[in-house]
Amino acid sequence: MPVDRLLPTAEARDLLALTRDVADKVLDPIVDDHERREAYPEGVFATLGEAGLLSLPYAEEWGGGGQPYEVYLQVLEELASRWAAVAVAVSVHGLACHPLMAFGTDQQKEDKLPVMLGGAQIGAYSLSEAQAGSDAAALSCKATATDGGYTVTGSKAWITHGGVADFYNLFARTGEGSKGISCFLVPGGTDGLSFGKPEEKMGLHAIPTTSAHYDNVHVPTEWRIGEEGQGLQIAFSALDAGRLGIAAVAVGIAQAALDDAVKYSQERTAFGKKIIDHQGLGFVLADMAAAVDSARATYLDAARRRDAGLPYSRNASVAKLIATDAAMKVTTDAVQVFGGYGYTRDFRVERYMREAKITQIFEGTNQIQRLVIARSLATR
Ligand SMILES: Cc1cc2nc3c(=O)[nH]c(=O)nc-3n(C[C@H](O)[C@H](O)[C@H](O)COP(=O)(O)OP(=O)(O)OC[C@H]3O[C@@H](n4cnc5c(N)ncnc54)[C@H](O)[C@@H]3O)c2cc1C
C-alpha cells in the first residue's frame, strides 16, 4: 500500500503518483536481475530525466522542476523503496548540480545549467580520496595554476557513477590547508581523465563506484566554481543538501523492508496462527513502523526549514543520523521476521540490509554527523 503522505499541493500529489508509476513499471521489473548481475541500468536515467524526476529541487528558469525540498525528498524516498542504487545516483546528481547553482556566475549558469538540469545528463561529485574521506581537508589532488587555467594531477576515490557521469564536481588543492581547496566542474570526456575499475561493493551493485585519475589534465579557469580557496565551503554546503537526500533514501529502504515484512508476517504461520498475531513479533513490526515514521518526520522537518530559507545544517545531520540508523535497524529486523528465508536471496530483505549499511557511511559517516551536531550544541 502506498505511504499515506501529507503533501503541500495537488501538483506534488501528481508528482508522487507519477513517481510510483515509474517505479512500478520501469524499476521494479528489472531491479533484482540488475543488482544480481551488477549490470548498469541502461536507459533508466533517460526515462527518469524525461519524466522530469532528475532535477526536481532546482529552479524552473534553469531547467529544474521548481519543487520544494519537502516534495523532492519524498520522490527520492519512493524511488529508493524500489531501487536504492538508482535513488542514490539521482541524489548524487542533485548534489553535483548544487555548486554551480549556488556559487556559479550568471555566465556559467547560462552556459551549463540548462544542460545539466535538462534530464539528459547525469553528474558526479568527487570530494573523497583514498586517504581523505571524513577528513576532506586532507585531500591532495592538485590543481596548479597555468596560463588560462590549471593543470590537475592526482586521484579521487569512491565516485558514485564514476566513468559513466557526464560531468564531475572536482575538489582539488590550489593552496595550503583547508582554505587551499577549489571546486571545478569537469566534463566526463576530458583528455587525461581516466577511471579505475568499479569497486566490488556489498550493495548498490548496479551503479559503479570508481576512482578517477587526473594525469596533467588542463582545466580552464571558466570551469572553476566560486573563488579560488572556496572549495571546502562549497563542498560542505552541497553536502548539507545531499545528506537530506541520503536520509530520504534510507527511509525508502526502510519502508520497503517494513512493507515486505508485514506482508510476509500476514502469510506465514507458526504455532497455528499468522506470525503477525504472535505479540512478540507484532511488537517487532510496531517498532519498525515507528522508526520509519519518525525518521521520515525528521527529514521532512529539516527539508521544511531549508524550504523556508532557515539554517538547516544541524537538522540535516540529525536527519541523516536518525534515518540511516533507523534503516539499518529496520532492515535487520525485517530479515529476522523472514526467519531463515530472510537470509537467502529469494527475498529482497537481505538486499535492503546491505543497502542500508552504506547510508550510515557515505556523505559523512554517522560519527561525523554526531561531530556536526555536538559542535552546534557547543556553540549555541
Ligand atoms: C558506495 C560508496 C559511494 C561513495 N560515493 C561517493 C561520492 O560519490 N563522492 C565522494 O566524494 N565520496 C563518496 N564516497 C566516499 C564516502 O563519502 C567516504 O567513504 C566516507 O566519507 C568515509 O570516509 P573513509 O571511507 O575514508 O573513512 P575514514 O574517514 O577513514 O573513517 C574510518 C572510520 O573512522 C571514523 N572517524 C573518522 N574521523 C572521525 C572523527 N573525527 N571522530 C569519530 N570518528 C571518526 C569514521 O566514522 C569511520 O567509522 C562513497 C563511498 C562508498 C563506500
Q: Over the chain, what is the mean pLDDT? A: 97
pLDDT score recorded for residue 97: 97
Nearest protein Cα to ligand 1, atom 37: 134
Q: How many Å lie between the centroid of ligand 1 and the Cα of residue 360?
A: 9
Q: What φ, ψ does residue 274 adopt, rounded to 5°?
A: -60, 145
What is the mean pLDDT of the segment spanning 163-177? Answer: 97
What is the mean pLDDT of the segment spanning 270-287? Answer: 98
Nearest protein Cα to ligand 1, atom 25: 133
Q: How many percent of the chain have pLDDT more than 90?
A: 98
Q: How many Å lie between the centroid of ligand 1 and the Cα of residue 3?
A: 32
- Ligand 1 probe mutation, 35, 88, 128, 209, most atoms within 8 A of CB: 128
Q: How many Å lie between the centroid of ligand 1 and the Cα of residue 312?
A: 22
59, three cell numbers: 529552479
38 tagged catalytic = no
pLDDT score recorded for residue 62: 94
pLDDT score recorded for residue 380: 80
- Ligand 1 probe mutation, 86, 90, 134, 171, most atoms within 8 A of CB: 134
What length is written for the chain? 380
Q: Give the atom of ligand 1 at the shortest distance from the alpha carbon of 366.
A: 47
Nearest protein Cα to ligand 1, atom 35: 367
Nearest protein Cα to ligand 1, atom 24: 133
**Where is 216: in which H helix or E strand?**
strand 209-220
What is the mean pLDDT of the segment spanning 156-175? Answer: 98
Question: Sign of dihedral through CA atoms 30, 32, 33, 38?
Answer: positive
Half-sphere exposure of 352 (CA within 13 A, CB side): 34
pLDDT score recorded for residue 124: 98
**1 has pLDDT over 80:** no
Q: How many percent of the chain have pLDDT more than 70?
A: 100
Q: How far apart are CA 263 and CA 283, in angstroms?
A: 15
Enumerate the β-bridge partners of residue 169.
Answer: 125, 185
Q: Give the atom of ligand 1 at the shortest distance from the alpha carbon of 361.
A: 20
Residues with CB under 6 A from ligand 1: 92, 125-128, 133-134, 158-160, 201, 204, 209, 358, 361-365, 367-368, 371
- Ligand 1 probe mutation, 317, 361, 371, 373, most atoms within 8 A of CB: 361
The pLDDT confidence band at residue 278, using thresholds 50, 70 and 90, is very high
- In this structure, what DSSP letter does residue 289 have? H
The pLDDT confidence band at residue 6, using thresholds 50, 70 and 90, is very high
The pLDDT confidence band at residue 330, using thresholds 50, 70 and 90, is very high
What is this structure's pTM?
0.98
- In this structure, what DSSP letter does residue 308 have? T
pLDDT score recorded for residue 348: 98
The pLDDT confidence band at residue 2, using thresholds 50, 70 and 90, is confident
Tens digit of each residue's pLDDT (9 = 90 or more) over 71-106? 999 999 999 999 999 999 999 999 999 999 999 999
Tens digit of each residue's pLDDT (9 = 90 or more) over 331-341? 999 999 999 99
pLDDT score recorded for residue 91: 98
Q: Give the atom of ligand 1 at the shortest distance from the alpha carbon of 161.
A: 8
Residue in 244, 190, 240 with CA at minimum distance from that of residue 80: 244
Burial class (CB within 10 angstroms; exposed 0-12, middle 13-18, buried 19+) of 76: buried
Q: How many Å lie between the centroid of ligand 1 and the Cα of residue 377?
A: 23
Residue in 138, 115, 217, 231 with CA at minimum distance from that of residue 181: 231
pLDDT score recorded for residue 372: 96
Q: How many Å lie between the centroid of ligand 1 and the Cα of residue 133?
A: 4
Nearest protein Cα to ligand 1, atom 48: 365
**200 has pLDDT over 80:** yes
Residue in 113, 83, 104 with CA at minimum distance from that of residue 19: 83
Residue in 143, 150, 120, 130 with CA at minimum distance from that of residue 50: 120
61, three cell numbers: 528558469
Q: How many Å lie between the centroid of ligand 1 and the Cα of residue 93?
A: 19
